[in-house]
């Protein structure tokens, strides 16, 4: 029986990837519960020893040698104890090994239930640890199922499964079963049903991580991503800086002939990416952030709120504002400033209404 038990233990360890120590701890706890229930005793009266190294497995009932027996389940008299072994005396504890069949049907069922529960808990904990190590990272997942009505996509991630909700999908992006996609793991939560993985395709952190993986200078810390703003599927603006004066941070991110940035653009389905140089000089940073538009002047406005007025050449006004205000909006988020964009002449033209300041 012991040989079969340890063989099953070894099999569980290999198949489920659970450590023998963890399983033994759960099995010991399960057997204690089973014996307590069957014999109506306390934890202290049950001794479980599992030694996989020597293939030993034993369960014993522990009773106290007393002068007057009040509870025969946990006590025995000196005479009864000495009938087992003459050396026993008052105050000793007598250990009586139990046969497995003596546990009873209910006890055995209890043990099986607790062991199964322990294994499920161990698997959930293992999955949580595995997923937790991927939090705030990019993971390549495989599309399992698509629910067109609810607009959600179920993805396989290692041993776990995660749902990509419509709100975290890039507008217009299409999926098919078996497809491999990159997602950003925003968080991993503990729930009663196991770990819940929160993933995204729209997060600006997805783009940031892609650059960290693609650009060695970012990975080794020579170039830093100081700020990033994104409207998924359309455009991302990213501000970079280098502590090394001899390194061009923008050029490092773009790569030779645009190789580095183009690889990321392709992965994002053609999303445009503006890479600008970050500067401590706010006016200089805002000018760069409004790229591809050219800026004539930046005035930082006084007040509690961060705000500025930007002047651009008349013919650059539409470019600075962008389609439906997108360029100005992304610039505002990138810099943290509310931006009021004005044409150099101060004249907006008959066909154009004066644009409101871009909000962060």
To the question of pTM greater than 0.75 for the whole model, the response is no
**Computed over its alpha carbons, how large is the radius of gyration of the chain?**
34
Say yes or no to pLDDT of 357 above 80. no
Domain 222-278: which CATH number of 3.90.1150.10, 3.40.50.300, 3.30.300.20, 3.40.50.970: 3.30.300.20
Question: Which is higher by pLDDT, 353 or 228?
Answer: 228
CATH superfamily of 2-124: NusA, N-terminal domain (3.30.1480.10)
Tell which wins on pLDDT, 242 or 3.
242
- For the domain with range 281-360, which CATH number is right: 3.40.50.2000, 3.90.870.10, 3.30.420.40, 3.30.300.20? 3.30.300.20
| pLDDT (average), residues 286-298 | 94
Tell me which residue of 258, 355, 263 sits closest to 311, measured CA to CA. Answer: 355
Q: Domain locations in the chain?
A: 2-124, 137-200, 222-278, 281-360
Q: How many CA atoms lie within 13 A of 110 on its CB side?
A: 16
Which pLDDT value is given to residue 202? 95
Find the mean pLDDT for residues 330-354: 79
Question: Which run of H or of E encompasses 95?
Answer: strand 93-98
Distance separating alpha carbons of residues 280 and 283, to the nearest angstrom: 9
Q: Could you tell me which of 133, 127, 146, 140 has the C-alpha nearest to residue 184?
A: 140
User: Is pLDDT at 359 greater than 70 in this prediction?
Assistant: no
Q: What is the mean pLDDT of residues 28-51?
A: 84
Separation in Å, CA 234 to CA 64, 168, 172, 272: 77, 14, 10, 6
Q: What is the pLDDT of residue 354?
A: 45
Query: How far is it, in rounded angstroms, from Cα 117 to Cα 248?
Result: 57
Percent of the chain with pLDDT over 90: 55
Dihedral angle of Cα 6, 7, 8, 12, to the nearest 10 degrees: 100
Please give the Cα distance from 124 to 119 (Å, whole number).
9
pLDDT at 14: 74
Q: With 70 as the cut, is the pLDDT of residue 110 above it?
A: no
pLDDT mean across residues, the chain: 86
CA-nearest of 326, 337, 335, 334 to 303 is 337
CA distances to 61, 196, 197 from 187, rounded to whole Å, are: 47, 8, 6
Angle between helices 2-16 and 105-132 (to 10 degrees): 30
Q: Which fold has domain 137-200?
A: OB fold (Dihydrolipoamide Acetyltransferase, E2P) (2.40.50)
Mean of pLDDT values over 76-94? 92
Bond before 292 cis per omega within 30 degrees: yes
Task: List, in sequence order, every residue forming a beta bridge with 152; answer none if it has no partner.
Answer: 147
**Count of C-beta atoms within a 10 Å radius of residue 43:** 10
Q: Check residue 350 and give its pLDDT.
A: 43
CB atoms inside a 10 Å sphere around CB 344: 14
How far is 199 from 54, CA to CA, in rounded Å? Answer: 46
Lowest mean pLDDT among 101-115, 194-208, 243-257: 101-115
Q: Across residues 105-130, what is the average pLDDT? A: 71
φ/ψ (deg, to 5) at 185: -85, 105
Domains 222-278 and 281-360 share a fold: yes
In eight-state DSSP terms, residue 345 is T
Give yes or no for a contact between 154 and 166, defined as CB atoms under 8 angstroms apart: no
pLDDT in tens, 118-159: 777 777 777 788 788 888 999 999 999 999 888 899 999 877
pLDDT tens, residue by residue, 160-213: 788 999 999 998 888 999 999 999 999 988 777 777 889 999 999 999 999 999
CA–CA dist 195, 125 (Å, integer): 8
Distance between CA atoms of residues 255 and 272, nearest Å: 16
- Give me the pLDDT at residue 111, please: 60
Return left, alpha or beta for 147; rule: phi > 0 is left, psi -120 to 50 is alpha, else beta. Answer: beta
Locus of tokens 């490092």:
252
The pLDDT score that the predictor gives to residue 24 is 81
Torsion sign over Cα 94, 100, 102, 108: positive
- Segment 321-326 shows an average pLDDT of 92
Q: How many CB atoms lie within 10 A of CB 35?
A: 26
Choose between 258 and 8: higher pLDDT.
Answer: 258
Question: How far apart are the C-alpha atoms of 192 and 71, rounded to whole Å?
Answer: 40
pLDDT for position 352? 45
């Amino acid at each position: 029986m012991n040989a079969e038990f340890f063989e099953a233990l070894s099999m569980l360890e290999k198949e489920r990837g659970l450590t023998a120590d963890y399983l033994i701890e759960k099995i010991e706890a399960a057997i204690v519960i089973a014996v307590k229930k069957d014999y109506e005793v306390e934890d202290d009266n049950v001794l479980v020893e599992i030694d996989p190294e020597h293939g030993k497995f034993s369960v014993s009932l522990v009773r106290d040698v007393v002068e007057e027996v009040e509870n025969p389940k946990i006590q025995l008299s000196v005479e009864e104890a000495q009938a087992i072994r003459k050396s026993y005396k008052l105050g000793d504890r007598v250990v009586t090994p139990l046969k497995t069949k003596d546990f009873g049907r209910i006890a055995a069922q209890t043990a099986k239930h607790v062991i199964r529960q322990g294994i499920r808990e161990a698997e959930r904990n293992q999955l949580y640890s595995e997923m937790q190590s991927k939090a705030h990272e990019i993971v390549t997942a495989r599309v399992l199922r698509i629910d067109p009505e609810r607009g959600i996509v179920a993805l396989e991630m290692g041993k776990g499964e995660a749902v990509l909700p419509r709100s975290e999908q890039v507008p217009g992006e299409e999926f098919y079963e078996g497809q491999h996609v990159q997602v950003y793991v925003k968080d991993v939560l503990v729930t009663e049903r196991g770990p819940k993985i929160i993933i995204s395709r729209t997060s600006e952190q997805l783009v940031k991580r892609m650059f960290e993986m693609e650009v060695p200078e970012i990975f080794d810390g020579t170039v830093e991503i100081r700020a990033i703003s994104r409207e998924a599927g359309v455009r991302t603006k990213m501000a970079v800086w280098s502590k090394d004066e001899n390194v061009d941070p923008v050029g490092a991110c773009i790569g030779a002939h645009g190789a580095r940035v183009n690889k990321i653009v392709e992965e994002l389905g053609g999303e445009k990416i503006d890479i600008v140089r970050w500067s401590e000089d706010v006016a200089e940073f805002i000018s760069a952030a409004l790229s591809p538009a050219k800026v004539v002047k930046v005035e930082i406005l006084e007040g509690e709120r961060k705000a500025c007025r930007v002047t651009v050449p008349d013919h650059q006004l539409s470019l600075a504002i962008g389609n439906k205000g997108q360029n100005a909006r992304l610039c505002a988020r990138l810099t943290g400033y509310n931006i009021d964009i004005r044409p150099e002449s101060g004249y907006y033209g008959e066909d154009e209404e004066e644009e409101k300041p871009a909000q962060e």
